[in-house]
Amino acid sequence: MNDTQMIIIALDTLFQPTSMPNARAEALRLCESYKTNVNCAEIGFQLLSDPALASHVRYFGLQLIKHRVRHNWTDMPYTEQVGIKSHILTHVSTCNVTEVGYIKTGLAGVLTELVKHTWPQHWPNMLGRGRGSKRTVIRWHNRSH
């Protein structure tokens, strides 16, 4: 069983009302353990990018990415930093207006962490690049309310 399958099963256990407390605790430990995995951003993008997965599973993928950015940004290789930034911007710009609100909020949270670490020193063109995304944010907001 691969990492994403294990996470999906653990999340299903967490969200299943009939799960026993010890099974739920073990599932939570497994999910939390992935936050310290050096591949947590990659695993997070695998979860986020699969539209067939439940929204709460895709959201957990965002949480893994956000954790990696928040806690390991300065230690990760430059190529990984560029990859994460590129993937998140792609997800923001292609996010469907019918996407659930908490996925949009999760994307905004990861983007916020990226900005904290990279702007303005390492991402001087962020504002110019974000102009196209402004419509996306406004569209998200209008459709959410």
Write down the pLDDT at residue 30.
Answer: 98
Instruction: Tell me the mean pLDDT in the region 13-37.
Output: 97
Q: Quote the CA–CA distance of 4 and 72 in Å, as a whole number.
A: 21
pLDDT digits (tens, 9 = 90+) for 71-125: 999 999 999 999 999 999 999 888 888 899 999 999 999 999 998 888 766 556 6
Write down the pLDDT at residue 52.
Answer: 96
Higher confidence at residue 144 or residue 30? 30
Judge contact between 88 and 111, C-beta under 8 A. yes
| CA 1 to mean position of chain CA atoms | 22
